[in-house]
A and B are shown apart, each in its own frame.
Chain A
């Protein structure tokens, strides 16, 4: 468990990190996110004392980090960075073995550890052990970088934009691996990024920073559903995050009662429906949804002319995601979709304005 208590960093009289209080539970995957200059990297580097604190305290497992020698502290904390920083004159094995060697593990134990770490990251030990860093691809090098950070089985793993310099495909697969490694090892991880997609993919908790302050802490869902202020709203809303959020929710949550009438009803009854509703679903005599009436038809002959047909393909079901429902609405250029049950009977409707509401 990592506790940051009123942690502050001052450079030239300016608070780069301004009394940040945050606790990361054991086994958490905590992502620190914010725009550049928000102090997230500085905060991370204060945890392993690469940057000294100007104020406040940090405790790991209840122990104040200032009470141990910096080098000793760092050997207990894994550290992986964007530029990787593999030692070019050492082999993959020697690179991974750095901290175990510093901790004076026996050669046999070091060798076994290197082997199991390479295997953990799907790097064939026989093939990669004796390679030099310049012989590795970017993705392989960063796998080795993360393996090196995990080498001495640290309680805590700090990662500073580790996948920021990789191409999108490699980044994706490394994120996948990181999630698996986190599940398998149960390490407490503090991870800095500015990429919201990455945060949503990996984090069990997200801490959003802006201008040195902690703006909001919560699970990805909490952050998406109830942003604390406009900054978070703007920051989270990059690219297709709105759609991502809709993908997590079903039509059921936005179901509204629908006005409907059968085609076989007298025209006066159909017209009178518009007294209470501004749109009415027209059903076939068998009870299937035929389409949408958005204005009262002038007469029986007028009925088919004012009907906007919405066939079975564009019916929503309660289990359908809101993202898919929205897609249908955009495609059919309609503000509402009928929601039908398994037998195709109308159970309600979902509307564009309701989709936009936050639950």
Chain B
């Protein structure tokens, strides 16, 4: 009977953060630093008891992990999720209670212990999921379920008094627009990246001499810092837009979404081209020779043999690109492309951390969700016979 070391470590970390760091912060207004509250002074007695009970049972399960793994796994998951929801709800509840008789500018923001708890609990759930079952479907299903539960809490109004939610309430319409714009940036970059990247990967496969040159060129784009690349594109594109009216009408100018999309495409090219190349290169040559020898046409060989065998690797490349683009698109706000980065840079400018978080947290959630879904797609594309 060995303890699950990962969960034990994470529990210790979360407990240490809870004991040493502030859980929430109550301030008169946005500018003053306010009073920090520890976890135990922020929660009601009932909430504390519940949290304690969940923590104790979680510790018990972590220590007796190998006894009955499956049952314990499910119980651990439920326990983690309950604790997560409890922590989030308690934070919202603390804000509601403490703001009842405070001024209208007063605000409650979340502090380091809260984030540490959320972080550790999420990692625990990921660890348990990976240990419990190899089925990617169950993992994605649970991730979506957990996400839906948090969203339910979010829309129930229980969190409305938290400062981050008040920033959200103030900017509800702008937020929806920014979220859509953010996704549009990523999606618009994917199309051209695939259309250019996949043929480049195939080219590298068929023309050996081009390969190293091609990949080192694409690598150069990858090494340019994103802020620099977004900035560097301003000058040539505005010149191009000035010189050719047709391009200007198409939206090609120094700032806005076009240069942002171009930069995202440039960053996406290497992973897509390289994974296309790797995917097709690992198709066994013997299988292709056999297919030819049995009278398959080149088209049939491509669609029945090469594509199905290369697809998992290709989709892994797409997964990297999507997650990477969601992150990079934040920077695009600098050149007026909009998206969730707008809040991040606004917040940085005003030293309003809640505003920064309003941009950053949805970006993270978006990336994690996209990663989950694409991981599912990769697994679906991986045929049974290919391990």
Contacts and interface: CB of A to CB of B under 8 A. Distances in A.
A81 B284 contact: no
9 contacts: A71-B295, A75-B295, A85-B287, A87-B287, A89-B308, A89-B384, A134-B385, A134-B387, A148-B290
A79 B288 CA distance: 13
Contact of A89 (B285, B288, B309): B309
A90 B385 contact: yes
A208 to B, nearest CB: 24
A131 B183 CA distance: 43
A72 B286 contact: no
B309 A86 contact: no
Nearest to B300: A102
Contacts of A71: 295-297
A211 B107 CA distance: 90
| Residue from B285, B291, B295 with most neighbouring chain A CB atoms (10 Å) | B295
A48 interface: yes
B292 interface: yes
Given A81-B289, A132-B384, A134-B386, 14 more contacts: A71-B296, A79-B294, A81-B293, A83-B284, A85-B286, A87-B290, A88-B284, A91-B385, A98-B291, A102-B295, A102-B296, A132-B385, A145-B290, A158-B293
A261 B305 CA distance: 81
Given A87-B287, A88-B386, A132-B384, A102 B294 contact: yes
B171 interface: no
B286 A81 contact: yes
B292 A50 contact: yes
A30 to B, nearest CB: 18
Contacts of A134: 385-387
Contact of A74 (B292, B305, B309, B384): B292
B383 interface: yes
Interface of A: 48, 50, 70-75, 79, 81, 83-91, 98-99, 102, 132-134, 145, 148-149, 158
> Size class of B's contact patch?
20 to 34
A146 B294 CA distance: 12
Interface string B345-387: 0000000000000000000000000000000000000011111
Given A89-B383, A133-B385, A134-B387, A84 B295 contact: no
Contact of B287 (A70, A86, A99, A149): A86
Nearest to A102: B295
Contact of B290 (A70, A75, A81): A81
Interface of B: 284-297, 300, 305, 308-309, 383-387
Nearest to B387: A134
B291 A87 contact: yes
Contacts of A91: 385
A72 B295 contact: yes
Given A81-B286, A83-B286, A88 B293 contact: no
A295 B300 CA distance: 81
Given A73-B295, A89-B385, A79 B309 contact: no
A50 B293 contact: yes
A72 B294 CA distance: 9
A334 B296 CA distance: 64
Nearest to B298: A71
Contact of B295 (A74, A87, A133): A74
A73 B295 CA distance: 7
Contacts of B309: 88-89
A327 to B, nearest CB: 44
A134 B287 CA distance: 13
A290 to B, nearest CB: 66
A133 B386 CA distance: 9
Nearest to A133: B385
A74 B287 contact: no
Contacts of A87: 287, 290-291, 305
A63 B226 CA distance: 65
B384 A79 contact: no
Nearest to A92: B385
A88 B287 contact: yes
Contacts of B284: 83, 85, 88
